[in-house]
């Protein structure tokens, strides 16, 4: 409910929704980590990872970037859930890794957001991907999954201040590299379907 989201926000999660176990598991990990830190004096770090992408993502695990890329390359319509006005902020994997690595080497034990604040609506993102892939695909609308967060953008002031970290790779560059990867997959790989759908996974 807080936008952009800082580390002091306690979150707003439906415990009994289809993604409740996933959401609460992430929250519990932070609780148990702080308990070990406080009670046992263990050195710990808590990275709050926002949407991340890059080459070698799993193609059909339900996340939006592989889903749209796969659809574009197979010549299918891009499936936007809801009206597509919900937003996400996508961080390129190299930036994400650098942020986590710097956090590891720091001595900061409270949560730190690691993500790219560049926010975009899913509908605009679908249009961007159609342009990038040059595929001329259409967009079709499907129902919005239950409890799909409507807005997500990290406030990364803390990471800037504590880690001297800022994402370096913009969406255009990152998506280009990511598309090169998906383009290099064989037709068999593109057609492979997974049995599990991990699409509803984020807490924050
Ligand atoms: N989404 C979509 N079409 C798809 C897959 C996902 O419109 O084929 C939407 C989804 O509803 C969500 C956003 O894209 O609003 C990001 O979904 P993803 O599963 O990648 O990440 P999360 O929802 O966990 O942030």
Nearest-atom number in ligand 1 for the CA of 84 is 7
Q: What confidence tens digit (pLDDT) does each residue in 63-92 have? A: 999 999 999 999 999 999 999 999 999 999
| 129 CA → ligand 1 middle, Å | 14
22 is catalytic: yes
pLDDT at res. 172: 96
Q: What confidence tens digit (pLDDT) does each residue in 152-189 have? A: 999 999 999 999 999 999 999 999 999 999 999 999 98
What's the topology of domain 46-193? Rossmann fold (3.40.50)
Indicate if the pLDDT at residue 61 is higher than 90.
no
Question: Which secondary structure element, helix H or strand E, spans residue 182, and what is its range?
Answer: helix 171-183
* Alpha carbon distance 25, 31 (integer Å): 10
Under 8 Å between Cβ of 78 and 129: yes
Encoded tokens for 88: 């996400």
Cα 46–chain centre separation? 17
- Domain boundaries of the chain, sorted by first residue: 46-193
Torsion sign across C-alpha atoms 114, 118, 123, 127? negative
Indicate if the pLDDT at residue 200 is higher than 70.
no
Residue of 22, 92, 101, 204 marked catalytic: 22
pTM: 0.92
> Is the CB of 122 within 6 Å of ligand 1?
yes
């Amino acid at each position: 409910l807080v936008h952009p989201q800082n580390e002091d926000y306690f979150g707003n999660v439906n415990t009994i929704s289809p993604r409740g176990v996933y959401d609460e598991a992430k929250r519990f990990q932070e609780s148990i980590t702080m308990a070990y830190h406080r009670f046992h004096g263990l050195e710990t770090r808590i990275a709050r990872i926002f949407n991340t992408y890059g080459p070698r993502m799993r193609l059909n695990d339900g996340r939006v970037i592989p889903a749209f890329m796969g659809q574009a390359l197979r010549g299918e319509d891009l499936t936007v859930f809801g009206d597509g006005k919900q937003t996400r902020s996508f961080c390129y994997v190299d930036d994400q890794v650098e942020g986590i690595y710097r956090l590891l080497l720091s001595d900061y034990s409270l949560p730190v957001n690691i993500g790219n604040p560049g926010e975009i609506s899913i509908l605009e993102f679908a249009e961007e991907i159609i342009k990038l892939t040059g595929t001329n695909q259409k967009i079709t609308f499907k129902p919005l999954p239950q409890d799909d967060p409507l807005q997500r953008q990290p406030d990364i002031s803390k990471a800037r201040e504590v880690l001297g970290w800022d994402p370096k790779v913009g969406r255009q560059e990152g998506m280009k590299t990511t598309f090169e990867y998906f383009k290099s997959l064989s037709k068999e790989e593109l057609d492979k379907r997974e049995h599990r759908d991990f699409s509803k996974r984020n807490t924050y």
